[in-house]
Chains A and B, each alone.
Chain A
Amino acid sequence: MNKDATLDVQGLLCPLPIVQLAKKMKELKSGQILELIADDVGAKEDVPAWCARTGNQLISAETEGKMLKFYIKVK
């Protein structure tokens, strides 16, 4: 997956992954893709909910063992 930036929030619990995601997304340009890596159980539902609420597109979500990888396109 092509990505323009990566944000690793492993080790952080809800809501910190979302707080950091929101901050990071503000730094990126429209159309860019952010790779978010989390290991918080809550992130699985938090990230799609945040994307739906803020109008940013969640392109895909993958699980690699305990690692959750999300690819989000900046609106």
Chain B
Amino acid sequence: MTDKMCIVVSEGSLDKAVMPLMLAITGASMGMEVHIFYTFFGLKLLKKGIKPKLPVMMSPFTFMMTGKMKKANMPSYGEMLKSAIDMGVNVYACSTTVALMGMKESDFVEGTKVLGAAAFLGQAADAKINLFIG
């Protein structure tokens, strides 16, 4: 039986953007089935071409973090998201908050699926790991 990991992401800063993907990519490398549910302010992380920023007051210093990431041979956020999807990580945009935040499905990167809460909870109900990031 494959272990399942479900993650909910509700915020859109750079740290909150990278964390679930690191876990997802690692989980996928370990043979886990991974589902990430993006909701509210997390939704912007699924937008095509998005470059997430550090939270609030640190936002103008984002370049320092992204610089460090590049120096450490880490992929960019966009590359990480694409890798995760290519590796079979399931990425969902919460259908209700898509509407609330004035977004549409075509805004999101290829591979994003739109999903409701009940369907997501159906996955989470028998997941070995359930995490909330944000």
Contacts and interface: CB of A to CB of B under 8 A. Distances in A.
Contacts of B76: none
Residue among B22, B25, B26 having the largest count of chain A Cβ atoms under 10 Å:
B26
B74 A22 contact: no
A72 B72 CA distance: 26
B134 to A, nearest CB: 20
B26 A19 contact: yes
B72 A19 contact: no
Interface residues of A, number: 14
B30 A50 contact: yes
A48 to B, nearest CB: 12
Contacts of A53: 30-31
B41 to A, nearest CB: 25
Residue among B22, B30, B83 having the largest count of chain A Cβ atoms under 10 Å:
B30
